[in-house]
Amino acid sequence: MILKDLFHEGATFFNQYKYHNAHIKWEQIWKNGSELERSEIKGFIQLTGAILNTKSTKISSGKYLFKKSLSNISSSSVIPEWIELDSLLASILDCSAHLEEKPYELLPRIKFIFR
């Protein structure tokens, strides 16, 4: 399974604020992974897309992708074995709320906490 190693590499990039690198790493799973792996990684690709869109002042797209990522990450069944999912979901909710109130200010930090 390619999922675990590439997911971990992408999450490490993400924690270093290298969102584009994380996005590219996770897209490798999307392009080469099984159906299960693709469904597991979809929300994380959307999460990086949300951040990158927001940083490019594409606020509407960022809001949409945060919402989609929250839904898809919540549905993940394998990845939650490797990370603290509750804190991640709470951080995504914080970012979504922040975008509603202060769309052009720096987003709250999202960080992957590994188990």
Question: Tens digits of per-residue pLDDT, 5-28?
Answer: 999 999 999 999 999 999 999 999
pLDDT in tens, 60-100: 999 999 999 999 999 999 999 999 999 999 999 999 999 99
Any idea which fold 3-101 has?
Answer: Hyaluronidase domain-like (1.10.3450)
Calpha distance 54→52 (Å, rounded): 5
All structural domains of the chain with their residue ranges: 3-101
Question: What b/e readout covers 37-75, taking b as 16+ CB neighbours within 10 angstroms?
Answer: bebbbbbbbbbbbbbbbbeeeeeeebbebbebbbebbee
pTM recorded for the entire structure: 0.96
- CB < 8 Å & 24+ apart, contacts of 89-94: 92/47, 92/66
CB neighbourhood size of 10 (10 A): 26
Sorted by sequence, the CB contacts under 8 Å of residue 72 that are 6+ apart come out as: 39, 42, 43, 46
